[in-house]
Copies of this chain bind each other. A is one copy, B any other.
Amino acid sequence: MRKATNISSHNHEREHGTRLMPKFDQSGLISAVVQDSRSGEVLMVAFMDEEALAATRESGEAHFHSRSRDKLWKKGETSGNVLKVEQVLIDCDQDAVVLKVVPAGPTCHTGARSCFYRELDGDTLKPLAE
């Protein structure tokens, strides 16, 4: 009973409090959505671990955790297309963030402005108008 109460009050603080309490999943990750702060366009989606979140907060530039390489990944570290973070939003249960950014260039490694350059049209994918 005491345990249930503690979990409940923990969840209440997480949802309604003013304290940053990221709820990392069993792989140590939260979701991170990158949104252009001017256009509102969603540019990419990735994951952050504690290290990536700290590096982003300290540097003001977006860092993620690469699941394929299992390491810290500064977006733009090779391309130069860094993402300047203007605002960080966090969701109710603190397992996802939205980064409002100013991108230095195309966000997608394909050269597209956003990684979301196709829409589902029936059973096929159709390029979006730029």
Residues on A close to B: CB < 8 A? 15-20, 25, 31, 33, 35, 39-42, 44-45, 57, 67, 87-93, 96, 98, 108-110, 112, 115-120, 123-126, 128
Check B120–A57 contact: CB distance below 8 A: yes
A17 to B, closest residue via Cβ: B125
A123 to B, closest residue via Cβ: B20
Check B19–A89 contact: CB distance below 8 A: no
Check B128–A89 contact: CB distance below 8 A: yes
Which residues from B are CB-within-8-Å of A116? 89-91, 96, 98
Check A45–B33 contact: CB distance below 8 A: yes
With beta carbons under 8 angstroms apart, the residue of B42, B93, B112 that contacts A33 is: B42
A47 to B, closest residue via Cβ: B31
Check B119–A92 contact: CB distance below 8 A: no
Check A118–B96 contact: CB distance below 8 A: no
Which residues from B are CB-within-8-Å of A108? 91-92
In the bound complex, how far is the Cα of B19 from the Cα of A1, in angstroms? 52
Which residues from B are CB-within-8-Å of A33? 33, 42, 45
